Amino acid sequence: MDPGISLELQQVTKRYAGHTAVRKLSLRVPRGAIYGLLGPNGAGKTTTIRMVLGIVQPDEGSITVLGNPEGGWKASHRIGYLPEERGLYRKMKVLDLLTFLAEAKGVRRATARRDAESWLERLGLSAWKVHKIDDLSKGMQQKVQFIATLLHRPELVILDEPFAGLDPVNSQVLKDIVREVAQGGATILFSTHVMEQAERLCDSVCIIARGEKVLDGSLAEVKQTHRGRHVALAVAGGVASIDSLLADRALVARADNYGNYAEIELAEGADPQRLLQLLVQTGVQVTRYEITEPSLHKIFLDRVGAEAAVAAASGNE
Ligand code: ATP
């Protein structure tokens, strides 16, 4: 495998009792990338991650992890995994637990203890190190589990919905750490259905829906591909006055009307200049006409569909 690639899936399919959770999924995660596996609830993200880790086996296709064509189980000491279902040994004390988990991944006890203390300090948990996991709030437990994921300095870090349930301050602290770890050379694969998180953090993404890939590539490429089709538009007197023009499906694929302005996705192949000309011909006073770069959320809406996007938005963050 190309040494610049940490993880590669080729044509991977997983079925559960007649239901296909993941279908012919191919993707490549570059070394050192922060790679977002994105999709609405039930899209197949966790199933994909479990296959990468070797927890479940694909029915078809191949998965190469850190150069191992047998998949993640062969490289488990080099991988850090934060599962979606959090769970720690509740009766153990925080520092003892972190030391134990790092030792299980091959770290010497003294090193594990020293590094764990330094992480606890950084995440504001030093005062809790001799407390049992049970005594910690859910958010604190999540931070401890996050430390456990990174303590053995893994080359590949897999985070399943890592920010779910965290307050904005802790969420930001963890995002900063994710960036640092990637800058240190590790590869990050993380799943989320919150596009704003992915937009802020990822340099590459893969959007899946109903088990199938919708698009993938670097964030810059994905945005480039969708550029030129989105227009922010405002007219004097409000957008309602040009309703009939916006209903022209040869020109406008979709218009989100916010009253004072509208966000428009042009139809495939439609020329933004043509829309501007027609607007001027109607006699309205155009106060804003801006070809915009779509947000990842907008791209997700356009490509995955409003129905799936609503399901994603109503999921827990
Ligand atoms: P979410 O964001 O809600 O966690 P997800 O993208 O992680 O969703 P998966 O958990 O991978 O999605 O589920 C994909 C599909 O596969 C769902 O329809 C789910 O019900 C099904 N599925 C997952 N695991 C199993 C299993 N062990 N047995 C049967 N069906 C399963």
Residue pLDDT tens, the chain, 317 long: 577 899 999 999 999 988 999 999 999 999 999 999 999 888 999 999 999 999 999 999 999 999 888 776 778 889 999 988 767 778 889 999 999 999 999 999 999 999 999 999 999 999 999 999 999 988 899 999 999 999 999 999 999 999 988 899 999 999 999 999 999 999 999 999 888 889 999 999 999 999 999 999 999 999 888 877 889 999 988 888 888 888 999 999 888 888 888 889 898 888 889 999 999 998 999 999 998 888 898 888 888 875 555 555 544 33
How many Å separate Cα 73 from the centre of its chain? Answer: 23
Do the Cβ atoms of 39 and 313 come closer than 8 Å?
no
Task: Give a yes or no: residue 317 inside a domain.
Answer: no
**Cβ 54 under 6 angstroms from ligand 1:** no
Q: What is the CA(160)–ligand 1 centre distance, in A?
A: 13
Task: Give a yes or no: residue 16 inside a domain.
Answer: yes
DSSP 93: B
Residues 187 and 255 in one domain: no
Residues 55 and 160 in one domain: yes
Task: Give a yes or no: residue 173 inside a domain.
Answer: yes
Q: What is the CA(16)–ligand 1 centre distance, in A?
A: 9
Q: What is the CA(211)–ligand 1 centre distance, in A?
A: 9
Residues 174 and 259 in one domain: no
**Cβ 14 under 6 angstroms from ligand 1:** no
**Cβ 193 under 6 angstroms from ligand 1:** yes
**Cβ 45 under 6 angstroms from ligand 1:** yes
Nearest CA to ligand 1 atom 29: 16
Residues 141 and 159 in one domain: yes
Number of compact structural domains in the chain: 2
Amino acid, res. 82: L
Residues 92 and 155 in one domain: yes
Task: Give a yes or no: residue 234 inside a domain.
Answer: yes
- Work out whether strand 60-65 and strand 79-82 pair parallel, antiparallel, or are unpaired: unpaired
Residues 202 and 280 in one domain: no
Task: Give a yes or no: residue 237 inside a domain.
Answer: yes
Do the Cβ atoms of 223 and 55 come closer than 8 Å?
no
Task: Give a yes or no: residue 306 inside a domain.
Answer: no
Do the Cβ atoms of 176 and 122 come closer than 8 Å?
no
Find the domain containing 203 and state its range.
5-224
Q: What is the CA(47)–ligand 1 centre distance, in A?
A: 6
